[in-house]
Structure 1
Amino acid sequence: MKATLSRRTLLAASLLATAAGAAQAQATVFRVTAIPDESPTELARKAAPLMKYLEGKLGMKVEYTPVTDYAAAVEALVNKKVDLAWFGGFTFVQANVRSGGKVVPLVQREEDEKFRSVFITADPAIKSLADLKGRDLSFGSQSSTSGHLMPRHFLLAAGIEPERDLKRVAFSGAHDATIAAVASGKVQAGALNISVWDKFVADKKVDTARVRVFYTTPAYYDYNWTVHADMPAAQKDKLSAAFLALDKSTPEGAQVLELQRATRFIPTKAENYKSIEGAARSAGLL
């Protein structure tokens, strides 16, 4: 009887040790996600070298965790399912409101200090925002800063109420999908992130003899890397330092920065996104 109890005790202890080991292994994985503003294949391609770089800097396993939509990225960070999230300005504001101020933007690309959106068309008759009246327009995702919120903000500033003045308002879901919709003639115009547009032009993935930019917005703050406020200060500092250390003069830094479409990363703060919050509230999107 004692031998049986002893075996049971040893088995229970073994199972507990295994469970504890698994929990510890899970805890040592640093999880990263990003808003799906481009195709899953492109996001994974851009993420891979950065995850490898962060592993070396943090001294732990780093995994990229894709999400299905913008809202899922917000919920993942707010509920601590991931440790780090790539947000647009609007998704940062949504996460900040949703968490009661419990998220912290750490760094942004230098380009995100003065980000812009572009309106594109293949219709020769469209030459200004006013020419959009009575026509079809595609935004990106409803939660996109550069693909919806700020383009809508500047339309409203120009006296154009999309649902009232346009023939149809569509949402493509992503910036590259907006370009495809305009190029194929599904819509007469589209609004998207200037960075994605420039990349498509540079890679000759769009025929600029047909599809062209007819309006570029004023500048605004956009994307950032954000963490939960509960992250230990030492880890926040190590993470920030890793991004700030990226340098185009090194092969690794050059690869990561090119894929992130960044000259370099710089510190950021929540106050930078107050104008985005104001625009969202004015447009009735928050």
Structure 2
Amino acid sequence: MFRALLATVLAALTLSVSAETLTFTAIPDQDESQLRTRFEQVGQYLSAELGVEVQYLPVKSYAAAVTAFRNNQVQLAWFGGLSGVQARRLVPGSQAIAQGVEDPEFKTYLIAHHSTGLAPMAELSRDALAGMTFTYGSKGSTSGRLMPQYYLTQSLGEPEQVFSRVGFSGDHSRTISQVEAGAYQLGAVNYKVWEQAVADGKVDTDKVQKVWQTPGYPDYHWTVRGDLDQRFGDGFAKRLQQALLELDDPAILGAFPRKGFIEASNADYAPVEQVASELGLIR
């Protein structure tokens, strides 16, 4: 009788573990429909590789992605440099495990409306840019706010004292649209989003063009909570990392867009943490 009861309990426990769902999210850095297509494909791939149900949880803001990670609503997240630093500071033991091949040397483009008359420049000129209107992307974006703010400040001084108006579009796709429409004369945009939009014919380059780019910096990456193995079993985090590193489906990689994924560690994002601290975005 006892053995039968024990077997039933163990079977129930095994079923409970096997039925566990891995939930992940991503910062909403561009058009929502594009993100859903990209990450639903990732979820299907990971589910097949790991043998567990994998679910993508869309969020409306960078802060919401960090909050979902902190509250254990998600166990895995595709963060930018800054949001990843913020999330790991809130969840001790969490680890950056993978990044795109291009992400250790990411860049931001400064784009300009044709009415500015600006030509591509090797170095920023305060005289050429002063008095224009300018937009970042999201307030929590590494490529849309943190790093462009840092480099603009280094070269020109405080952006609010250089430009006549400084705004936040919300994401990279909106930055491109708003500068193309002339709502802002200048904008800071993730170079990958810009290049993909141009390749897809979604940008009228007669109306808006790239005029400058930042030096390289570390940016996007996958981060996992430190308690992943406790929830899914010993070695699960390593298996998840390996699945991401081995991802070679052109359709999925092209949707990021990335050539592939390589290993990442928390230490890779120390420069981002330092800049965010200097600018007062983290304490």
**Under a length normalisation based on structure 2, what TM-score does the superposition of the two structures give?**
0.88
Are 1:169 and 2:160 counterparts?
A: no
**CA displacement 1:14-63 (0-9 Å, x = unmatched):** xxx9xx89x94896111110000012111101112211110101101111
Are 1:102 and 2:120 counterparts?
A: no
**Sequence identity, in percent?**
38
Distance 1:93 1:102, change over 3 A: same
Residue from 51, 63, 73 that aligns with 1:59:
51
Partner SS for 1:201? helix
Q: Identify the residue that residue 264 of structure 2 maps to in structure 1.
A: 268
Kindly report which structure 2 residues correspond to 1:102-121, keeping only aligned pairs within 5 A, or say none.
102-121=93-112
Q: CA RMSD in A?
A: 1.9
The alpha carbon displacement at 1:182 in A equals 0.2
**CA displacement 1:62-91 (0-9 Å, x = unmatched):** 111001110110111122111110000010
Q: Identify the residue that residue 10 of structure 1 maps to in structure 2.
A: none
The alpha carbon displacement at 1:124 in A equals 3.5
One-letter amino acid of the counterpart of residue 138, structure 1: T
The answer as to whether partners of 1:107 and 1:265 remain within 8 angstroms in 2 is: yes
Are 1:141 and 2:142 counterparts?
A: no
Partner SS for 1:102? coil
Residues of 2 paired with 1:57 and 1:176: CA distance? 32
The alpha carbon displacement at 1:183 in A equals 0.6
**CA displacement 1:79-108 (0-9 Å, x = unmatched):** 211111000001011112223x43210100
Kindly report which structure 2 residues correspond to 1:1-286, keeping only aligned pairs within 5 A, or say none.
24=16, 28-99=20-91, 101-122=92-113, 123-127=115-119, 129=124, 130=126, 131-232=128-229, 234-247=235-248, 253-286=249-282
The answer as to whether partners of 1:78 and 1:103 remain within 8 angstroms in 2 is: no
Residues of 2 paired with 1:56 and 1:27: CA distance? 14
The answer as to whether partners of 1:46 and 1:259 remain within 8 angstroms in 2 is: yes
The alpha carbon displacement at 1:264 in A equals 1.1
The alpha carbon displacement at 1:164 in A equals 1.8
The answer as to whether partners of 1:221 and 1:272 remain within 8 angstroms in 2 is: yes
Residues of 2 paired with 1:85 and 1:26: CA distance? 21
**Under a length normalisation based on structure 1, what TM-score does the superposition of the two structures give?**
0.87
The alpha carbon displacement at 1:166 in A equals 1.3
Partner SS for 1:158? helix
The alpha carbon displacement at 1:132 in A equals 2.4
The alpha carbon displacement at 1:181 in A equals 0.5
One-letter amino acid of the counterpart of residue 106, structure 1: I
- Structure of greater Rg: 1
Partner SS for 2:272? helix
Structure 2 unaligned blocks of 5 or more: 1-8
The alpha carbon displacement at 1:284 in A equals 1.7
